[in-house]
Amino acid sequence: MQIRDLDQTVVGNPAHDLIRLGLSLASAARGSDLPGMTTAKMLEQMMDGYEKSFEPDFHEETDMRIPESIRVVSKKAVAASWKTLAEERIEGDRPTIPLGRRFWPISKTEKREIEKLFETEEMSKLATMLRSRDEDARVKLLDAAYWIKGCSSLGRLRYAVILRIGKKANGSQYCIMDLKEAAQAAAPRATGVKMPGDQAERVVEGARYLSPFLGKRMRAVKFLGKSVFVRELLPQDLKVEIEQLTREEAMKVALYLAAVVGKAHSRQMDAETRTQWQKDLRRNRSKSLDAPTWLWTSIVELLAEHERAYLEHCRKYALEVA
């Protein structure tokens, strides 16, 4: 289990990742109709799991019990295949992309440039590096489309690409590539640190450090004059989707996911930095909430802002269609 969304990765304050995780957990709790008190307790468990991950020789799979909802996703990931991936990503196991609401047609120029991209040695090796594929196997573009995937896609380049590796036309020889334009990170970086100036290189570099399994199969390229990062999507890349949580399961999920984030953070710090960060985490805690006050305040303010913006959007839409 590793971090998956790395578009905002920077060398900066790790507190921003804690706020992001806490906001996601609080939103999941609201979607599960859990009371606000449960959200507060989830943040306590989150901080407990995060701080435990900084202990020597910590391993989340042996040092804490895996929540059942996480265990289900893990089992699905182990058993996943090309068919699993294709049905999740392109709604069918045929090596074609169905155009419609999620996928839009691309121009001849875009398709030609994608073909040229995967004819390069760097991209060809990216396509053949996994699953014991032959390094000299032919890489052929089968289909490509513009990918509508959340608000982050709007106004930026995003493509789904299906490739065939080698001459055999069986499922094991297909792969799906995700091409995504890298935007300027909103997260603030630390002062005086060196980071790649290219946005796509920043994302790839962050992935290599925080999520090595993902980072090793990502590349930064220039495409149509934009900085784009490319990665192969694997059947095992299953996102943890938690639609309904019980109070007990919510606590366990918060504890476990925070440990995953903490382990990724801990690898980036030397002993002195880890010690100082642990001291900082123990500060500003009230007698009634065993979590930093700044964390609770930040999450509450962000939830309120999100709700306000959503309702304003709905009001604007209602006025336009009235």
| Cα–Cα–Cα angle for 200, 204, 210, rounded to 5 degrees | 140
Q: Please list, residue by residue across 7-38, b when 16 or more beta carbons sit within 10 angstroms of its beta carbon and e when fewer do.
A: bbbbebebeebbbbbbbbbbebbeebebeeeb
Find the mean pLDDT for residues 80-97. 63
Output the pLDDT for position 130.
62
The two structure tokens encoding residue 226? 């934009």
pTM score of the predicted model: 0.74
Identify whether residues 116 and 187 lie together within a single domain: yes
Q: Which residues contact 314 (CB under 8 A, 6 or more apart)?
A: none
Identify whether residues 32 and 100 lie together within a single domain: no
Identify whether residues 50 and 100 lie together within a single domain: no
The answer to whether residue 7 is domain-embedded is no
Q: What is the pLDDT of residues 210-233, one digit of tens each?
A: 888 788 888 999 999 999 999 887
The two structure tokens encoding residue 148? 């509508």
The answer to whether residue 259 is domain-embedded is yes
Output the pLDDT for position 81.
59
The answer to whether residue 158 is domain-embedded is yes
Q: For residues 226 and 155, give the distance between their C-alpha atoms in angstroms, rounded to a whole number.
A: 12
50 or 316: which carries more pLDDT confidence? 50
The answer to whether residue 153 is domain-embedded is yes
Contacts of 51-58 with CB under 8 Å at 24 or more apart are 51/262, 51/278, 51/281, 52/259, 52/262, 53/258, 53/259, 53/260, 53/261, 53/262, 53/263, 53/265, 53/266, 54/262, 54/265, 54/266, 54/274, 54/277, 54/278, 58/259, 58/263, 58/266
Nearest to 46 by CA among 245, 251, 248, 241: 251
The two structure tokens encoding residue 297? 């305040």
Identify whether residues 58 and 98 lie together within a single domain: no
Identify whether residues 204 and 277 lie together within a single domain: no
Q: What is the pLDDT of residues 107-147, one digit of tens each?
A: 999 999 999 998 888 888 887 776 556 666 777 888 899 98
Judged against a pLDDT cut of 90, whether residue 1 lies above it is answered with no
The answer to whether residue 306 is domain-embedded is yes
The answer to whether residue 238 is domain-embedded is no
Going by pLDDT thresholds of 50, 70 and 90, the confidence category of residue 171 is very low
Find the mean pLDDT for residues 182-206. 86
Q: For residues 198 and 207, give the distance between their C-alpha atoms in angstroms, rounded to a whole number.
A: 14
Going by pLDDT thresholds of 50, 70 and 90, the confidence category of residue 306 is confident
Going by pLDDT thresholds of 50, 70 and 90, the confidence category of residue 208 is confident
Identify whether residues 302 and 222 lie together within a single domain: no
The answer to whether 155 and 148 have CB atoms below 8 angstroms apart is no
The 103-104 sheet, strands edge to edge: 103-104, 139-147, 158-165, 174-181, 226-233, 218-223
Tell me which residue range forms the domain holding 276: 15-76+243-321
Identify whether residues 302 and 215 lie together within a single domain: no
Identify whether residues 62 and 88 lie together within a single domain: no
Identify whether residues 49 and 135 lie together within a single domain: no
Strand 174-181, strand 226-233: pairing: antiparallel
Identify whether residues 71 and 87 lie together within a single domain: no
Find the mean pLDDT for residues 37-54. 88
The answer to whether residue 169 is domain-embedded is yes
Identify whether residues 43 and 178 lie together within a single domain: no
Output the pLDDT for position 98.
82
Going by pLDDT thresholds of 50, 70 and 90, the confidence category of residue 243 is low
Identify whether residues 91 and 211 lie together within a single domain: yes
Judged against a pLDDT cut of 80, whether residue 284 lies above it is answered with no
Final residue belonging to a domain, choices 165, 198, 233 = 233
The answer to whether residue 8 is domain-embedded is no
Find the mean pLDDT for residues 7-33. 86
71 or 92: which carries more pLDDT confidence? 71
Q: Which residues contact 71 (CB under 8 A, 6 or more apart)?
A: none
Judged against a pLDDT cut of 50, whether residue 76 lies above it is answered with yes
Final residue belonging to a domain, choices 176, 211, 233 = 233
Output the pLDDT for position 291.
81
Final residue belonging to a domain, choices 233, 265, 295 = 233
Q: How many domains does the chain have?
A: 2
